[in-house]
Amino acid sequence: MWKTILRRVLIMIPEVIILSILVFLLAKAMPGDPFTGSINPKADPAQIHHLMKINGLYDPWYQQYWNWVVHLFHGNLGNSYQYQEPVTRLISSRAANTLWLALLTMVLTYALALPMGVFAGRHEGKLPDTVIRVYTYVTYCIPFFVILVIGIWIFGYVLGWFPTTGSISADATSGFKSIWSRAYHILLPAILGALFSTVNIVQYLRSEVIDAKRSDYVRTARSKGVPNKDVYRHHIFRNSLLPIAAFAGYSITGLLNGSIFTETVFSYPGMGLLFVNSISYRDYTVITALVLIYGILNLLGTLLSDIILSIVDPRIRIE
């Protein structure tokens, strides 16, 4: 199995290189130059020309790309135009917020979706199955940001159970208090996110359970005298989880993309909100860095999916 994982990791190297070239070329294709806006507008064009030259902006693109990559490896992604601070510091201060929100959302999503999917499949066609299916279709149909706004209105304003903006209250300074405050702030976005992202998992798992229930190997298990609950535990559940495991990694990246909505609506200071703001301020260095990071996270997500799948499914391991 380690062979499979190693091979899969090696494949990622050319993927990351191609991704970085694409991101770099897209950034190059954006109009304007890095100096015109940041120095005295009355500056001599010859001086800008000189700045461009000493900063290597007239070099061939592969030379520039190489310089960019070298800087990248030194942790230097340039300065943000909007905030006038290094992009790496800007992003790393936000990354943890996004990560916690995504993690909690994912844990809640699986905690809700796995039991619902199995339950619906097991009691196919009966009332609980119908209720669960209606629930998933409804959540699938309503746009996510509409749910977020309604959620804030009900639980934030009308009931006042949860804070509606930010990631921490201003008075939470000490250790425990600040942890609690952070957890309290991500609870509502995470719950809303989880409630409305179960549909894929529930529907997949349900149909997999229904298929597995009628499969020949389950009939074999029953003919061995295995009690019903063990048939579910040892045979149906694990086989039905294969496709769920297959997109577990993708769902992480899906959550990061989803965080763009959540963070914007909740004014939650994470990478998603930073991304949206950077786009509206044309903060090119930040955009480039975020696109690269989101791209790498997507690759890592698919890597994770493949690793999980090779653990749970012996058929795709390379011996």
The reply on whether position 226 binds another protein by CB under 8 A is: yes
CA–CA dist 271, 117 (Å, integer): 31
The reply on whether position 114 binds another protein by CB under 8 A is: no
Give the residue, chosen from 85, 227, 279, 318, that forms a contact with another protein under the rule CB under 8 A.
227
Give the residue, chosen from 59, 180, 234, 267, that forms a contact with another protein under the rule CB under 8 A.
234
Residue 313 C-beta: closest distance to another protein, Å: 7
Residue 220 C-beta: closest distance to another protein, Å: 5
Residue 123 C-beta: closest distance to another protein, Å: 11
Considering only CA atoms, which of 89, 71, 97 is closest in space to residue 286? 89
The reply on whether position 171 binds another protein by CB under 8 A is: no
* Cβ(144)–Cβ(236) below 8 Å: no
* Cβ(301)–Cβ(8) below 8 Å: no
Which residues, in sequence order, are CB contacts of 60 under 8 Å at separation 6+? none
CA–CA dist 63, 23 (Å, integer): 15
- Residue 275: beta bridge partners? none
The reply on whether position 225 binds another protein by CB under 8 A is: yes
The reply on whether position 136 binds another protein by CB under 8 A is: no
The region of 95-103, 127-135, 155-163, 220-228 touching another protein under the rule CB under 8 A is 220-228
Give the residue, chosen from 14, 31, 157, 224, that forms a contact with another protein under the rule CB under 8 A.
224
Residue 246 C-beta: closest distance to another protein, Å: 14
Give the residue, chosen from 178, 215, 257, 264, that forms a contact with another protein under the rule CB under 8 A.
215
The reply on whether position 246 binds another protein by CB under 8 A is: no
Written as six digits, the tokens of 258 are: 């989803």
The reply on whether position 233 binds another protein by CB under 8 A is: no
Residue 9 C-beta: closest distance to another protein, Å: 24
- Footprint of another protein on residues 49-108 (CB under 8 A)? none
Give the residue, chosen from 10, 41, 141, 216, that forms a contact with another protein under the rule CB under 8 A.
216
Report the interface residues with another protein, using CB under 8 A. 215-217, 219-228, 234-235, 238-239, 312-315
